[in-house]
Chain A
Amino acid sequence: MKSPQSPADWTPDSPELTAFALKDGPFDPSAPGWAEQRAAAEQAVVRSALLRAEIGEIRRVADDVESDLSREAIHRLSADRREAVLAYARTPERGLPRRSSDGSPPEGDSGWHRLWSVVTRPAMGYSLAAATALSIGLALWSAWPSGSQPSPAVAARSGASNALAKAFPSISEDRSTPTPTPTPTPTPTPTSASASDSPPIAQPQEEILRGEPQLAWGSSGRSPHLSNPSNPSTPSNPSNLSESPGSSASVAEFKRYGLVPSADSAPAPSGAASPAALLAANPAAELARKPQVQQAAATTATTATTATTATTATTATTATTATTATKTSIPRLRALTTREIPFQSAATAPRSTFPLQPGNTSYPQIRKALQDGQLPSPDAVKLEELLNYFSYDYPAPSGSDPVSAQVEVADSPWSPDHRLVKIGLQARPAQTAGRPRANLVVLVGLSPGSSARLSWAQRSLQALIEALDGRDSLALLLDGPQGRLILPATAAADRASLIRGVGALRAEGAPRGLEGLRRAYALADQHHIPGGINRVVWIVDGEFSAEAGTRDALATLIREQTEWGVFLSVMGLGSEVPSEPSEAPWMPTPGGGAYASAATPAEALAVLRREVQPSPTAVAENVTVDVRFNPARVDQWRLLSQESRESSAAPKTSPTNSGAQMEAGRSVTALYEIVPTRATDGPRAGSGTESAAPAGGRSDLLNLEVGYRSPANGRVQDPAENTPSRKLQVGVPDVRRSSDAATADYKFAAAVVGYGLMLRDSPFKGDLTWEKVQILAEEGQGPDREGYRAEFLQLVRQARALQDGAVQNGKAKQ
């Protein structure tokens, strides 16, 4: 045996270089001493451009070969062959079933033996196989395969054919002749077995509809589309049965045999039962004891190449739906734990501040509740979170200031005597010029039937493309049974091609995970930018779960690639995606990749945008916000926010949020409602919008002071360090202006907070009505480039309809 060359002696023609490029052989992470081997090899490779180029070529060819080979026809064992194996698995002690290629029936010419002799006769096998191959071929061509079993006619014809039998001698001749299995029973003839083979065609289609994402999000037990939502495990409906894992195949078999099992009618394995019935009976028993594991859905989903498995895949979708349907929603009759912050007197408490990093869970919660057909719990409605879910158009800071402030004042839409003050802070956008080039490979692995999630993914990717610099490159890969390259690495300058590529994305079938990710990494490797951002973005949905056998390989792959400088971000779309990586056991440990779950399109967008700004940089540190109300003008004020009922502490009135950072490009918005002093009705007119005007006027309504320190070259400063802090001051003159004359952004902000007031049934809502909220939202649409505001309008209508309905119901009961 030739001893392997040392990496220092490698030439482009060294077989070891191929092994290195393929990360196999001595460079397989499971090989002993692979780390040292790899280190030595890397040293050699780093020094030689020739070797590096060769590695790229090898990987390219390997990738091509792999993808071409993966497109070869997929065959599966015929149902009869599988059934024979399973029958044998039940009684292996009885010896192998006879494969009677010699044509002489075994003693005791029972139906079982007849079945055997026909099924295992090579000619029969051949025609079954040919028919299966043909129908698989057709199935792969058609959008939704409807049948993969041989037609009865074909089976019957070929069953009679003996002529070909001799041409394909059986391989079991040399096997010790087994005692024929005396399974207690008459069996269906092959013809009748085949005749009952075809799966119900209507079923998959119906289930595709049921598997629509809006239902998958929706967790309402009231959903009218679910046939049996209250008890999804009742086995009276075969689609529900697939909830139980490992049984999906059995369900397919049920369907294949046209048997719909039910709790009381499952055929007992009796002497009179046919094998088909036996087969059907066993899964029913197994269903009862197997716990719910989502993995089964993915496992069967990956095999969705034939009609029967496609049926299974869709039933799995339904199962997910049914599972979510059992989640209960927030009980309405519960003591509230939060209350809105009440009005404060400006005379005794003239100072206020607001949080710079409000949470972002409230809006998605509300949306989810509404999608379930329920009004959200008032506690889930957090005004400042709603407000900050949306972005508003604030001017970027000018000059050396890292932060800008904008204040807009108008009469409160719900209490015209009050003023509503909108304060917006905007941090300087991230400097893309300074960031390294990005080489992004996006792997999209969405299960079929999730068209809404596909469109999220597309929308988010389009926004990502907008955020790319012309020098960056992006490639798109589709993960599925026929995983393919949608868009080769393309420079972001060619925006049109990128957008076209995104538009061409489809959910073609169950994603394969490991295989897709391998290709994505290979692609990222080919375009690796030394010192740049090299990242694979993996978009999956809640139906994806790595197969048990591939988890280790996945984790290894990700870890290894991370070591090589290609990072991974996994983005889980949909509310049923685990929100923590630990809930997805196939995810590698931290360090292996970033994990983000996005339950909403907006979150998806935010997650993707972050990909090109891997580490958010703070543009201002130790930011303090100090709002000082002028008691001469302001009688009372309140921040539109809420607090815990238990907390007796007064709301924050001093700028104590010191230490907060503002990240590049971030903005924060706050609304104050002000009761002006009676004497001073300010002058009408005026622009109503103030930006960084000199502060301190006596007629001012309030003064805004934003203190901050600039981070020193991105270095995190010791908070105790006494660097000079800077201040931005804005004086806000008191103006009277109808909210009708306010900007679209102002109206939209008022609509969002007003929506919260309505949902909370706030004591402060004044004369606010749903009608008014809707008008404000409509007038506040603005350009709405990302479609969030339109979506909000939709939620307003939904909530309005629900609350009106609830009110009418209440009246009807009285």
Chain B
Amino acid sequence: MNPSSTSDQTNERVEWVRASMERHEAELLRYALSLVGDLPSAEDLVQDAFFKLCKQEPESLRGRLVPWLFTVVRNQAMDRHRRESRWPRAAEAEASQVAGNSPTPSASAQARDDVRNLMSLLTALPPNQREVVRLKFQNQLSYREISNLTRLSETNIGFLLHTALKTLRQRFERLDAGSGVPLARSTLHPSSPQ
């Protein structure tokens, strides 16, 4: 056995893992956090996914690294959920983020903060819709990738997203109308030259 080629291979693998972490850890952590609800657990999930990655051949994951990582994270979260027999605490986490981030919990102050609003709106969605919305709009996965990940059909994904967007839109509109404070998003409406 040629020791130098072995060390080359090792270096390549280390470099590959390092680059993968560098590039994907943030999006994986966001996703994991939305599944399990607390950061240390999310970090555990993501770290374990990268441990598993160390055992893979870079060649075998070419072109599907991201879906693979997401799948590992998701499966582990599901295992964990089964073990602990409770659904991931995503809803709690998002709710606590809303509360925690709000220095003045008055309704009008909340209305001005888009992120907080969206979080509370998201929390109100069913878990499967919430997950699909995140995967699509936060992690930029396609219908097909989401379908592979969640084992739901693409049609089903399309339906979930459609429903979720519709709900979000109605609630956005209600917020816009109710708060009296024009949200930043309303400036996105087509401008007229007056």
Residues of A within 8 A of B (CB): 1-2, 4, 13-19, 22, 24-26, 28, 30-31, 57-58, 60-66, 68-72, 74-78, 81-82, 84-86, 88-90, 92, 96-97, 99, 122, 125-126, 129-130, 133, 168-172, 174, 246, 249, 282, 285-286, 299-300, 303, 305, 470-471, 473, 485, 488-491, 493-494, 515, 523, 526-527, 547, 549
Residue pair B185, A64 in contact (C-beta under 8 Å): yes
Q: Which of B153, B168, B169 contacts A1 (CB 8 A)?
A: B153
Residue pair A1, B137 in contact (C-beta under 8 Å): no
A-B contacts counted at CB < 8 A amount to 208
Residue pair A171, B51 in contact (C-beta under 8 Å): no
Q: Which residues, 7 to 40 on B, are CB-close (under 8 Å) to A?
A: 10-11, 13-15, 17-19, 21-23, 25-26, 29-30, 33, 38-40
Residue pair B47, A122 in contact (C-beta under 8 Å): no
Q: Which residues, 177 to 192 on B, are CB-close (under 8 Å) to A?
A: 184-185, 187-192
Q: Which of B11, B114, B187 contacts A282 (CB 8 A)?
A: B11
Chain B nearest Cβ from A187, distance in angstroms: 18
Residues of B within 8 A of A (CB): 10-11, 13-15, 17-19, 21-23, 25-26, 29-30, 33, 38-48, 50-51, 54-55, 66, 76, 79-80, 83-84, 114-115, 117-119, 133-134, 136-138, 140, 142-144, 153-159, 161-163, 165-166, 168-169, 172, 184-185, 187-194
Residue pair B14, A90 in contact (C-beta under 8 Å): yes
B8 — nearest CB in chain A belongs to which residue? A289
Q: Across the interface, which residues of A come within 8 angstroms of B51, CB to CB?
A: 85, 88, 96-97
Chain B nearest Cβ from A768, distance in angstroms: 53
How distant is the Cα of A86 from the Cα of B66 in the complex, in angstroms? 19
Residue pair B21, A85 in contact (C-beta under 8 Å): yes
Dominant secondary structure at the A interface: helix
Chain B nearest Cβ from A5, distance in angstroms: 10
Residue pair B40, A129 in contact (C-beta under 8 Å): yes
A12 — nearest CB in chain B belongs to which residue? B166
Chain B nearest Cβ from A725, distance in angstroms: 43
Residue pair A57, B169 in contact (C-beta under 8 Å): yes
How distant is the Cα of A720 from the Cα of B67 in the complex, in angstroms? 62
Q: Across the interface, which residues of A come within 8 angstroms of B76, CB to CB?
A: 171
Residue pair A526, B188 in contact (C-beta under 8 Å): yes
Dominant secondary structure at the B interface: helix
Residue pair B158, A15 in contact (C-beta under 8 Å): yes
How distant is the Cα of A550 from the Cα of B68 in the complex, in angstroms? 17
Chain A nearest Cβ from B150, distance in angstroms: 14
If A19-B158, A58-B165 touch, whether A89 touches B44 (CB-CB below 8 Å) is no
Q: A89-B54, A473-B191 are in contact. List 15 more A-B contacts (CB 8 A).
A: A2-B155, A18-B161, A18-B165, A30-B144, A61-B165, A69-B118, A71-B115, A75-B29, A75-B42, A75-B43, A86-B18, A90-B14, A92-B54, A488-B191, A490-B191
How distant is the Cα of A69 from the Cα of B94 in the complex, in angstroms? 12
The 10 closest A-B pairs by CB, nearest first: A491-B193, A15-B162, A126-B40, A25-B143, A18-B162, A68-B118, A69-B138, A89-B17, A488-B187, A89-B54
Chain A nearest Cβ from B155, distance in angstroms: 6
Chain B nearest Cβ from A295, distance in angstroms: 11
Residue pair A171, B10 in contact (C-beta under 8 Å): no
Residue pair A72, B115 in contact (C-beta under 8 Å): yes
Q: Which of A81, A172, A470 contacts B193 (CB 8 A)?
A: A470
How distant is the Cα of A171 from the Cα of B84 in the complex, in angstroms? 10
Ordered by A's residue number, 23 sampled pairs between the chains whose C-beta atoms are within 8 Å are: A1-B156, A13-B166, A19-B161, A22-B136, A60-B188, A61-B165, A62-B165, A65-B137, A69-B138, A74-B26, A77-B46, A82-B25, A92-B13, A99-B44, A122-B41, A133-B39, A168-B38, A171-B76, A249-B18, A473-B191, A491-B194, A547-B23, A549-B23
A475 — nearest CB in chain B belongs to which residue? B191
If A129-B39, A246-B19, A491-B193 touch, whether A66 touches B187 (CB-CB below 8 Å) is no
Residue pair B188, A129 in contact (C-beta under 8 Å): no
Q: Across the interface, which residues of B come within 8 angstroms of A58, CB to CB?
A: 165, 169
A497 — nearest CB in chain B belongs to which residue? B191
Residue pair A89, B80 in contact (C-beta under 8 Å): no
Chain A nearest Cβ from B37, distance in angstroms: 11
Q: Across the interface, which residues of A come within 8 angstroms of B161, CB to CB?
A: 15, 18-19, 22
Q: Which of B10, B13, B137, B158 contacts A62 (CB 8 A)?
A: B137
How distant is the Cα of A246 from the Cα of B84 in the complex, in angstroms? 40
Residue pair B169, A61 in contact (C-beta under 8 Å): yes
B94 — nearest CB in chain A belongs to which residue? A72
How distant is the Cα of A786 from the Cα of B144 in the complex, in angstroms? 51
How distant is the Cα of A490 from the Cα of B18 in the complex, in angstroms? 44
Residue pair A69, B134 in contact (C-beta under 8 Å): yes
Residue pair B143, A28 in contact (C-beta under 8 Å): yes
How distant is the Cα of A285 from the Cα of B8 in the complex, in angstroms? 11
A124 — nearest CB in chain B belongs to which residue? B40
Name which of A58, A72, A286, A485 has the most chain B CB atoms within 10 A of its CB: A72
Residue pair B47, A84 in contact (C-beta under 8 Å): yes
How distant is the Cα of A527 from the Cα of B191 in the complex, in angstroms? 8
